[in-house]
A and B are shown apart, each in its own frame.
Chain A
Amino acid sequence: MRSLFNRPELGAACGVVAIWSFFSLYAGGSGFLSWAGSATYLEIASELGILAAAVSLLMIAGEFDLSVGSMIAASGMTISLFCERLGWSIWGGIAVAMALSLGVGFANGLVVVRTRLPSFIVTLGSLFILSGGTIGMTRLVTGRTQVGGLHQALHYGSAEAIFASRLGGFSVSVLWWMGITVLATWVLLRTRFGNWIFGAGGAPDAARNLGVPVPKVKIALFMTTSFCACLVATFQAVKFTGADVLRGTGKELEAILAAVLGGTLLTGGHGSVVGAAFGALIFGMVQQGIVFAGVDSDWYKVFLGAMLIVAVLVNTYVRGRMVEARR
């Protein structure tokens, strides 16, 4: 029982229940509870959740990655350009984009580890570089800002089956999200690498003294977040048969938000991947729930903000009660 109360994600789970009940009450009649309605918020949650899983691991290790948003734009555009301009197989385009993302993640990590600058600043720099580079390169090559026609690329059918098909009305990305959450949780809680992640964020000096390769751990995690951004870009590029240079704008903050909703500390050393998954689910439900509730769009952001604060409050309240219960 104690170990259950100790889990950081319990608060977020209560947040999920609270938000779901709220919209079921206010918007259940207009389709929030329907099959199609559930599918729309699960699709949003799945893509954000994949990002948030990687971002929460990185945050537990004490670092931020703000470049994931423009990494989505860069990856999607890389896939589209290689297929549309060079006539490559879509798998070739995806492979290049993944290699690019791993390279950018490695560079992010290396600069942070070597210079000891805050990762917040370093990755803000790479956010701008990637975003500007994507616009510049795309306009240089095509003279446009959106590139489509991916459905005509070689082997599109197989890529669509893996990244963009629907199972019983639900997006296949939901399965990917679950798989990645389970895998990341296993790594974090059951492997030596997971211990290193907690050590790198919670007590880096002590960890270093115990022989934990903190720089390598951080570089590997930066590569993971970048790679997950590329994965999300692949979902979107295949599903929407193309890319534009603004895809993913703001996703970096949404991913951090989902991780924090899920009980991951901004200061590092404590957190949960399952919690981040609940955080992403809260975000998806709030975002679509507002539409189902028929809120006038002028007020949309007020509600998004208010609901998220409520979710965090429920979360903190539950965690506070847990601490009391343990005494």
Chain B
Amino acid sequence: MRSHQSLRALIGCVAVVLAAACTKGEPSKPAGPSGTTAEAPSAPRKDVKIAVVTHGQASDTFWSVVKNGVDNAAKDLGVTVTYNAPQTFDMVAMSRLIDAEVAKKPDGLVVSIPDANALSRSIKAAVEAGIPVISINSGGDVYKQLGVLLHVGQTEYEAGFGGGEKMAAAGVKNALCVNHEVGNGSLDLRCKGFLDAVAKGGGTGKVLAVNAADPTDSKQKVSAAMGEGIDGIMTLGPLGAGPALAALKEGGGLGKVKLGTFDLTPDVLAGIRDGALEFAIDQQQYLQGYLPIVLLTQYKQYGVLPAGGILPTGPGFVTKANAAQVIELSAKGIR
């Protein structure tokens, strides 16, 4: 009998926590714009439901900024937004998250498309169900074929190429591209663009695969690679930059080996300010979370949308010159 009661209590606990988290996901009621456009024709904003499914793991500081963009847009506009991502880089799980969201019939869907092959089935199903879809971050090369209305992000190959040019200009001849998310086609493109630009500048380079979930192991791999006379390292995100920076510090390569990275974190910015990093390529991912919510809300309410194409949020470079001003915003989770 005792076990019966404790079981009931436990189920009750779960229900309470669940209810609490449900409300957490919704924007707070009074945050909506006070009576400006809300009385406009069609759907009132609080009834607008938008679903976001990305491949960004919760542990990645980059995606936490995207989610801040999503949450802030939901709060500013007073619309209901759900954000989902698989727990690891798992395209099968991600496609099933999309399937579940489509079954909920949202007014708009925001997705990232790191693997068009694996996700096309689910995304096409969403389009066929009449749900307007906007892609963010990855997928600028394929969004049109899938029936996606608009892509908000940065084109990967060109961004990598830009980084490679900057490295070549700094005199790098033997470069390393650190891939922390093997399996993501967008990251493969960044490395390809980077290595092509380095080769154009007369240097050579190669790709090093590391495990994002294990920073110690990543650091050891970069350390090992440094023994081969590397003079420039490009990492593809904070999960690669942290370990690479640690490896350089340990091996005494700071300042000698040029280090560049994609995407900003407080650590990366401090590194640029102090001269440990040469530059960071910024794709302003906050906007990748914020803008699609604005666009889909307007589309739902008034049927207006930019005339297709890619809405570029990057690439931009953060160097020693502008690092200080970006640091403040980064600590707030906006850059």
Question: B-contacting residues of A (Cβ < 8 Å)?
Answer: 22, 26, 30-31, 34, 36-37, 39-40, 43-44, 135, 139, 143-146, 148-150, 236, 239-242, 244-247, 249-250, 287-288, 291-303, 306-307, 309-310, 313-314, 317, 320
Contact = CB atoms under 8 A, between A and B. Distances in A.
A297 B58 contact: yes
Contacts of A298: 58, 67
B183 A244 contact: yes
A242 B117 contact: yes
Given A244-B115, A293-B18, A145 B83 contact: no
A303 B329 CA distance: 32
Contact of A293 (B7, B22, B102): B22
Task: Assign chain B's interface to a size class.
Answer: 35 or more
Contacts of B26: 294
Nearest to B207: A139
28 contacts: A36-B102, A37-B103, A37-B104, A40-B96, A40-B99, A40-B100, A144-B185, A144-B188, A145-B183, A145-B185, A145-B188, A146-B118, A146-B183, A148-B118, A236-B92, A239-B121, A240-B91, A240-B95, A241-B117, A241-B121, A247-B90, A249-B88, A292-B100, A293-B18, A295-B22, A297-B82, A303-B14, A303-B17
Contacts of B17: 302-303, 306
A247 B94 CA distance: 11
Summarize A's interface: helix, strand, loop or mixed.
helix
- B17, B21, B82, B188 pick with most chain A CB within 10 angstroms: B21
Contacts of B96: 40, 43-44, 287-288
A43 B89 CA distance: 19
A321 to B, nearest CB: 9
Contacts of B91: 240, 244, 247
A296 B11 contact: no
A310 B11 contact: yes
A243 B82 CA distance: 28
B127 interface: no
The 8 closest A-B pairs by CB, nearest first: A148-B117, A296-B25, A242-B117, A36-B103, A240-B118, A291-B100, A246-B183, A244-B183
B83 A297 contact: yes
Nearest to B54: A297
A149 B105 CA distance: 30
A163 to B, nearest CB: 13
B204 interface: no
A28 to B, nearest CB: 12
A292 B104 contact: yes
Contacts of A294: 22, 25-26, 82
A295 B18 contact: yes
Interface in B201-246: 207, 209
Nearest to B184: A145
B182 A245 contact: yes
Contacts of A36: 99, 102-103
A36 B115 CA distance: 23
A22 to B, nearest CB: 8
Contacts of B67: 298
Given A288-B96, A291-B97, A317 B25 contact: no
A163 B26 CA distance: 39
Contacts of B209: 135, 139
Given A145-B188, A250-B88, A313-B10, A242 B118 contact: yes
A246 B14 contact: no
Given A245-B182, A295-B25, A240 B7 contact: no
B84 interface: yes
A241 B26 CA distance: 36
Contacts of B131: none
Contacts of B89: 246, 249
Contacts of A309: 10
Interface in B82-128: 82-85, 87-92, 95-97, 99-105, 115-121
A303 B165 CA distance: 46
Contacts of B88: 246, 249-250
B332 interface: no
B97 A249 contact: no
Contacts of A241: 117-118, 120-121
Nearest to A313: B7
A309 B85 CA distance: 22
B325 to A, nearest CB: 29
B4 interface: yes
A241 B102 CA distance: 21
B42 interface: no
Nearest to A147: B117
Given A239-B121, A291-B97, A40 B188 contact: no
Contact of A246 (B22, B90, B185): B90
A207 B67 CA distance: 57
A246 B182 contact: yes
B29 interface: no
A240 B121 contact: yes
